[in-house]
Amino acid sequence: MSLKLSSTLIISALFFLSPAFAAEFEKDIIKTSAGDVEMTFIGHASLIIGFNGKVIHVDPWGKITDYSAMPQADTILLTHHHQDHLDSDAIKKLTKSGTIVILTDECSKKISGEVMKNGDIKNIQNISIEAVPAYNLVHKRENGQPFHPKGEGNGYILTFGTTRVYIAGDTENTAEMKALKNIDVAFLPMNLPYTMTTAMVADAAKTFRPGILYPYHYGETDTQEIAKLMKDEKGIEIRIRNMK
């Protein structure tokens, strides 16, 4: 990995959050060559990332918290159009003058924003954002169609200085995921039956080898299972945070 990552867990006030808000959620700080990245774990697939005074919201969903109490967004990342990832009411509460919404083509049929397709790269507020494929290989609906067809959803790689943070979105352990390089931090979903089993997460992580692995969007999946599968894997730190 490109640099040593902090393993500090902090539950305290962020520079952009009130103490009352910050006490409700866990937060980690990742040291990068360009400054600290502050990650707040809201739950489900929802994250807040703070960097150099900017606030990035990922898949905000009002069912899990009141977004009127949240810091408004400089950037909002939407991985796909399902209602637990695209919540127009939460997005409205987070939007201020100058907010940039990054989304997929399917999302753009519901709300406006800047569309990114798989493979696109944009520089947004001095952060490189790369859209990567997110789709199902195995898990399907009763009609035989995948829950997340190829080409519809995005994962995102955000680069802060030399540190690369991968937020996978709703996906399985695709060939594109396993071909990723130099990922320092990875958020991988295991929300059955829609995304990955713990074995799929372990398979992917052992292949592209992130420095830190955060299971997220995990529903009722036992997070200790992934910890057990990865316990003998050197060089990958497993961090379990409250993302139900």
Instruction: Report, as an integer, the average pLDDT of 66-93.
Output: 94
Task: Find where tokens 């808000």 sit.
Answer: 21
Q: Does the structure show a pLDDT above 70 at 11?
A: no
What average pLDDT does range 66-90 have in this prediction? Answer: 94
Question: Is the model's pLDDT at 6 over the cut of 90?
Answer: no
- Nearest C-alpha neighbor of 71 from the set 45, 53, 52: 53
13 against 70, higher pLDDT? 70
pLDDT digits (tens, 9 = 90+) for 160-207: 999 999 999 999 999 999 999 999 999 999 988 899 999 999 999 999
Lowest mean pLDDT among 10-19, 152-161, 228-237: 10-19
* Average pLDDT taken over every residue of the chain: 90
Helix/strand/coil (H, E, C) string of 53-90? CEEEEECCCCCCCCHHHCCCCCEEECCCCCCCCCCHHH
More confident position, 7 or 220: 220
* pLDDT greater than 70 at residue 4: no
Task: Name the residue among 90, 79, 165 with its Cα closest to residue 116.
Answer: 79
**Mean pLDDT on 50-61:** 96
Give the phi and the psi of residue 74 in degrees, each rounded to 5.
-85, -35
Contact (Cβ atoms closer than 8 angstroms) between residue 84 and residue 61: yes
Could you report the per-residue pLDDT of 104-139, keeping only the tens digit for each? 999 999 999 999 999 999 999 899 999 999 999 988
Of all residues in the chain, the percent with pLDDT exceeding 70 is 91
pLDDT value at 7 more than 60: no
Residue 30: its pLDDT value, please?
97
Asked if the model's pLDDT at residue 21 lies above 80, the reply is: no
Give me the residues paired with residue 56 across strands: 49, 75
User: Residue 135 carries which side chain, given as an amino acid letter?
Assistant: Y
Give the pLDDT confidence score for residue 23 in this predicted structure. Answer: 53
Bridging pattern class, strands 46-51 and 37-43: antiparallel
For residue 84, give Cα distances in angstroms to 17, 112, 163, 179, 222.
Answer: 24, 18, 28, 28, 21
Q: Of 79-88, 107-116, 205-214, where does mean pLDDT reach its minimum?
A: 79-88
Domains of the chain (ranges; CATH) run: 9-238 (3.60.15.10)
pTM for this prediction:
0.90
Portion of the chain with pLDDT greater than 90, in percent = 79
